[in-house]
Structure 1
Amino acid sequence: MKVAYRPDIDGLRAVAVSAVVLFHAFPGSLPGGFVGVDVFFVISGYLITGIVTSELHDKTFSLATFYERRIRRIFPALIVVLAATVSIGLRLLLPNELHSLGKNAVASALFAANLMLLSEVNYFDIDAHLKPLLHLWSLGIEEQFYLVWPLILWALPRRSAPWAASIGLVASFALNLALVGGHPSAAFFLPFTRAWELMAGALLTFIPTPSKATKELAAVVGLVAIETSFFLFTDKMTFPGAAAALPVAGTFLLIMSEGATVNRILSLKPFVGIGLVSYSLYLWHWPVLVFLQVYLFRQLNDTLGLVAVVLASVLSVVTYFAVERPLRRQSRVAPIGAAMAAAGLFGLYAALVKVPDLPSPLQAMISAPDGVSAWRVHECILLDGEDGDFRNCSESKRPLIAIWGDSTASALIPGFRKLQQDHEFGIAQLTVSSCHPLLVLAHSASPYCLKKNAEIVRRISEIKPDVVVLHAIWDVNDRTGTTKPTIDALRAAGVPRIVILGPVPVWRGGLPNAAVDYYRRSGQIIPERTSQFVDSDAGDKVMSVIAAQLGVQYVSVRKAMCRGDECLTRVNGSITARDIIHLTKAGSEFLIQQIAPQLGIE
């Protein structure tokens, strides 16, 4: 009983991959496009379970044959993309970034990218959005499912399989709900908290075929559920959690509705064509987006996104016809796949251990202490949904300066510590990664940020600082009308002096990358001050106006670290920013020394 090909599922793949690509290439155009991955999970659970149970029924199932087919399906295109990514990375990335890339490439080839990323993705690692292989976490989850689920189906009596899928779905969903609040990264990356999505697809294999009328209704409801997720979800929300049930249920209903009008539309050639290359397109789109940004030192915009989509589409079509399809049809491809994997892993290792050294002055400059050890991570700078209370983050000395903001505010701490060596004052560090110090957010509000910020205001009312410094990477599009409630709350808490500290210079691609790129192109060390890689000062100007309107003091970081458009790249041979926005120890010490008089520290 061979599983019949369903063109509507390829059409559904087209919808899923298009959503993911649009989400990445054109931020804001499809705010919930990331749930395309969840659609893929349900599809995979359905197809794999259908194949295995069909072969078990016919008594033709073989674990060796099954895994050989998985290798034939997954490995060829994956190794091509990994090899290309590492080759380009050798020319564009910093040594520490190459080290990270090498680890992630090997983990991806071993289908463990999700576990590797869980251990290293945080705000203080290399900018997660510039990791060329970040997207392969989902492939790891799928392959881990493929390793375990067929074994369970093979070992169980056939009549027990639906119960196993149901129990797996409920248990995994419950674990997801238990972890997503306090440990969102674990809920996002672990196979145990994502398995329920694949199990939802697996259950489709065991349900009876519904009536035509039921299919028509289910297909429409399913499509609406998926599209609603695409447009109403955002990457600021807690996910997966309970919210993921909406796109998963929608996909379940669509797959269940074979032959319905919606499914027939999905079976049209344009949808099927995109669906056929969806795997290669998924593999290619993210490294192309990352490398274009790194090479051009430009933040993502619509033009760059369009170029990336076109380039990734061309590469995916070529990969499908030249790599995927020919090797998928080979009857004895397991040795070929194993050889390709071994060669790929060896090549990755050989390439990355031969990274050319940078000249000593440049190496010393970009290797300067980053100051993160002073941030008091997990205690006074909270990450990833952590639920600290900042009880040990306030000193008793007076005057007391409270620093409230995101991780860029934490980067100020080394500078304040240095200043304390010559001046008597205390510090209260109240910082939460990725959370602006605002009680009201106009767009994409994070419930976690709103909760922690309310707690911080209560903490400020308890410790009664003499000065509160608000600092973040201010998103000027979100600030109008949102700062006043925060200022009002601080005044109500009795804070005598409120200072809005403007945004730090934003280095396109990161200052270390800019320094290396400048050397590779010119053979010279980057100038002490430059405008070449720095974004405009629009944020500084906007925040200055807002501060004036609210009657609070404004201190410009831009004026302290830049002369006109030229911003400081190094202090005494040490780089001033560790990435795009976070100051190093040297940068922090320089800044705080410059602005100390404006904060009342003479």
Structure 2
Amino acid sequence: MKPAYRPDIDGLRAVAVSAVILFHAFPEALPGGFVGVDIFFVISGYLITGIVRSELHDKTFSIATFYERRIRRIFPALIIVLMATEFAGLHLLPPDELHSLGKNAVASALFSANLMLLSEVNYFDISAHSKPLLHLWSLGIEEQFYLLWPLILWALPHRKMPVAVGIALIASFALNLTLVRDYQAATFYLPFTRAWELMAGALLTFLPSQPRAIREPAAIVGLVAIEASFFLFTDKMTFPGWAAALPVTGALLVIMSERAFVNRFLSLRLFVGVGLVSYSLYLWHWPVLVFLQVYLFRPLNDTLGLVAIVLTSALSVLTFFAVERPLRRRATILPTGAAMAAAGLFGLYAAVAKAPDLPDELQAMISAPDGVSTWRVHECILLDGEDGDFRNCSESKRPLIAIWGDSTASALVPGFRKLQQDREFGFAQLSVSSCHPLLVPAHSASEYCLKKNSEIVRRISEIKPDVVVLHAIWDVNDRIGTTRPTIDALRAAGVPRIIILGPVPVWRGGLPNAAVDYFRRSGEIIPERISQFVDGDAGDKAMSAIAAELGVQYVSARNALCLGNKCLTHVNGAIMARDIIHLTKAGSEFLIGQIAPQLGIE
């Protein structure tokens, strides 16, 4: 017998999708809203397992029919969103982001969006918030579940099914706990470490109906657990891990409490209506938010966040009534598959095509070499908690100049290498991503940063450089009290000359994006110097004052790159920064060439 329709589950879908959208539009208002996706996983595990078990029991199950229904359910709306996103990307995104969009569109058409996004997770990848298809990672996991789970159930004797579900749940949850601390990105995106959430929903189908005395308190506890997750969790926490058990358990308790007061409340027409369009809402909300920010070239405020939600709602309702609902019953597989293939081919075109409305001069400017190949990544700049001793990161030539800092310090390497072509000096690179050169707790010094920075001081004591240049994306929150221990340690190590190199300009949204935005609004190449898009000089002034009080030399990177409030955007046809803060090869060579005399390199 086919499982009866439950309006309360559509109501739970409404809660889940609303949480995700509010989290993305107003992250401070609902900091844990991202767990709405975990609730979706539980719902999917429950519904799909229930449908397959019912059809197996009635001997009406057909794997081909199951896949056909899933295709009709998923593909039509997805095709529309992929096509619209690719079209918008071709007209609004710079080349690197357009290339990423194209790859992710292809992956989405091949049921592997989560795996593509995982492959792109690294320190030098474009910001996740500029990826219009980022949210499709969860759809990738669900699609992989749809492909495999019905086959597993079909192959199992009925009496073995609960055992298989229990084993899969425990194994997946254990794997999640084992990997999440050291491999958080993989734990987040991989189906093996997320399967326990789907299996939790599947397990519900094997449980008997609960008496009302249990259902009522269980539903309340479940709803409280879900709401607590929304407001107590943040995207800074380790997740999924143990934390994900709270919203998953909450969803389980609500689903198992059919006909409880909470479930009757979720069955109200408003909740059910939102739940019915939840798939389209989820598909549309993130591209709308991303492209609205790209078009306006600024983060969304509350007003614009509300505009994005209204626009998302309108597109979703239109998609549901014009595409989802009519094609769910009438669509034939061949045209639907062909349309999905077309969406994938469109994505492939976007991945290899140049942005069509950008002139060659601008294309060449923003595609200039970034210089990262010279950074000695994983060896002389450590990323994401990596271990390393910097043993091979210093030269024997004298005088020896050591650069110590975060990834912006490593971005200076091409400049030093260029200078070595006609100057005699040795170079040492000692850098850790996202770690200011500090030795005491501060906003910019995690426990890992403090540990690696202490090791760097010991390494400096061993190599005895003639000059140590401290460089990071210093900001106005840095204080004398947090910087003084670094200076004291270097003096104790016998460093004769210490230089604080001030922060480089920070480009809002990234300098390549700014260059593209300027052209699309004015029809002209971005000027060589501009005050638009760039931050103020508060960080430069703050670090200059700190250096003066500590009695060390201060060199202003900003003065070398800016005239007043106008900062250099490109030099010799190449963009100065590859993103918000990291200098390109050309930018690094220009800066180091400008400040070489102040560094004592004659």
For structure 1, the residue ranges without an aligned partner over 5 or more in a row are: none
Aligned partners of 1:314 and 1:378: how far apart in 2?
47
Correspondence list, 1:24-173, <5 A: 24-173=24-173
Change (3 A) 1:416 1:102: same
| 1:453 equivalent in alignment to 2:450 | yes
Aligned partners of 1:545 and 1:310: how far apart in 2?
47
Query: Aligned letter for 2:226?
Result: I
Post-superposition offset of 1:74: 0.7
Query: Aligned letter for 2:341?
Result: A
- For the residue of structure 2 that corresponds to 1:146, the secondary structure is helix
Change (3 A) 1:265 1:353: same
Match of 2:425 in 1: 424
Aligned partners of 2:187 and 2:540: how far apart in 1?
37
Q: After the TM superposition, which of the residue ranges 23-32 and 73-82 deviates more from structure 2?
A: 23-32
Aligned partners of 2:401 and 2:51: how far apart in 1?
64
- For the residue of structure 1 that corresponds to 2:533, the secondary structure is coil
Post-superposition offset of 1:237: 2.7
Post-superposition offset of 1:265: 2.8
- For the residue of structure 2 that corresponds to 1:426, the secondary structure is strand
Aligned partners of 2:288 and 2:568: how far apart in 1?
30
Query: Aligned letter for 1:221?
Result: V
Query: Aligned letter for 2:145?
Result: F
Change (3 A) 1:219 1:507: same
Query: Aligned letter for 2:451?
Result: A
RMSD between superposed Cα atoms in Å = 2.9
Aligned partners of 1:216 and 1:353: how far apart in 2?
56
Q: TM-score, normalised by structure 2?
A: 0.90
Match of 1:513 in 2: 513
Query: Aligned letter for 1:429?
Result: L
Change (3 A) 1:511 1:173: same
Post-superposition offset of 1:597: 4.5
Q: After the TM superposition, which of the residue ranges 455-464 and 284-293 deviates more from structure 2?
A: 455-464
Match of 2:272 in 1: 272
Change (3 A) 1:318 1:503: farther
- For the residue of structure 2 that corresponds to 1:132, the secondary structure is coil
Write out per-residue CA displacement over residues 136-156 of structure 1, whole angstroms, 9 at most, x where no aligned residue: 111101100110011000110
Match of 2:340 in 1: 341
Post-superposition offset of 1:167: 1.0
Q: After the TM superposition, which of the residue ranges 547-556 and 421-430 deviates more from structure 2?
A: 547-556
Change (3 A) 1:440 1:146: farther
Q: Which has the larger radius of gyration?
A: 2
Preserved CA contact (<8 Å) 1:181 1:385: no
Preserved CA contact (<8 Å) 1:293 1:509: no
Aligned partners of 1:218 and 1:517: how far apart in 2?
52
Q: After the TM superposition, which of the residue ranges 67-76 and 269-278 deviates more from structure 2?
A: 269-278
Change (3 A) 1:591 1:192: same
Q: After the TM superposition, which of the residue ranges 5-14 and 415-424 deviates more from structure 2?
A: 415-424
Q: After the TM superposition, which of the residue ranges 156-165 and 485-494 deviates more from structure 2?
A: 485-494
Match of 1:407 in 2: 407
Match of 1:235 in 2: 235
- For the residue of structure 2 that corresponds to 1:377, the secondary structure is coil
Change (3 A) 1:5 1:490: farther
Post-superposition offset of 1:541: 4.4
Query: Aligned letter for 2:177?
Result: L
Aligned partners of 1:118 and 1:190: how far apart in 2?
8
Change (3 A) 1:70 1:99: same
Change (3 A) 1:336 1:384: farther
Write out per-residue CA displacement over residues 290-312 of structure 1, whole angstroms, 9 at most, x where no aligned residue: 21222222134334323222222
Question: Number of aligned pairs?
Answer: 594
- For the residue of structure 2 that corresponds to 1:428, the secondary structure is strand
Preserved CA contact (<8 Å) 1:85 1:132: yes
- For the residue of structure 2 that corresponds to 1:329, the secondary structure is helix
Preserved CA contact (<8 Å) 2:98 2:350: no
Percent identical pairs in the alignment equals 75
Match of 1:198 in 2: 198
Q: After the TM superposition, which of the residue ranges 60-69 and 457-466 deviates more from structure 2?
A: 457-466
Preserved CA contact (<8 Å) 1:439 1:450: no
Preserved CA contact (<8 Å) 2:547 2:554: yes
Post-superposition offset of 1:404: 4.1
- For the residue of structure 1 that corresponds to 2:146, the secondary structure is helix
- For the residue of structure 2 that corresponds to 1:534, the secondary structure is coil
Preserved CA contact (<8 Å) 2:102 2:349: no
Match of 1:292 in 2: 292
Post-superposition offset of 1:170: 1.6
Aligned partners of 1:550 and 1:533: how far apart in 2?
32
Correspondence list, 1:152-551, <5 A: 152-330=152-330, 332-349=331-348, 355=354, 356=356, 358-396=358-396, 401-421=401-421, 422-432=423-433, 434-437=434-437, 449-464=446-461, 469-474=469-474, 476=476, 479=477, 484-485=481-482, 487-488=484-485, 491-492=488-489, 494=492, 500-544=500-544
Match of 2:11 in 1: 11
Change (3 A) 1:441 1:459: closer
Change (3 A) 1:418 1:347: closer
Write out per-residue CA displacement over residues 369-420 of structure 1, whole angstroms, 9 at most, x where no aligned residue: 1101011122233334434444433445566555444433322222233334
Q: After the TM superposition, which of the residue ranges 75-84 and 387-396 deviates more from structure 2?
A: 387-396
Query: Aligned letter for 2:227?
Result: E
Q: TM-score, normalised by structure 1?
A: 0.90
Aligned partners of 1:543 and 1:269: how far apart in 2?
58
Change (3 A) 1:60 1:565: same
Post-superposition offset of 1:52: 1.0
Q: After the TM superposition, which of the residue ranges 212-221 and 285-294 deviates more from structure 2?
A: 212-221
